[in-house]
Amino acid sequence: MSKIKKIPEFDNYKEMAEFWDKHSLADYWDQTEPAEFEISPNARRRYYIPVDKDLLNRVHKLAQIRGLSTETLANLLIEQRLQDIEVNESI
């Protein structure tokens, strides 16, 4: 008799990604639920800007440590720095 596998609780996206890298959703399909959602075409736009390779590697490594995507961390860093500049220069 096979033991029922349960989807574990995760503390962050890194743990979740590592779990699903090693397991098949087919083994857990009966524990999933349908989801309904809409994605607005204007919800997110991508802009491509050149970034120094070494700088991007540093951002990527830090993002992995924090369990974030490189894109998310880059956006957070840009937002944080812009806020600092705006406060200091009264923009």
pLDDT of residue 90: 77
Nearest CA among 64, 77, 75, 58 for reference residue 13:
64
Nearest CA among 70, 50, 54 for reference residue 62:
70
Mean pLDDT of 43-62: 92
> Mean pLDDT for the chain?
90
Handedness of CA 30, 32, 38, 44 (dihedral sign): negative
pTM surpassing 0.85?
no
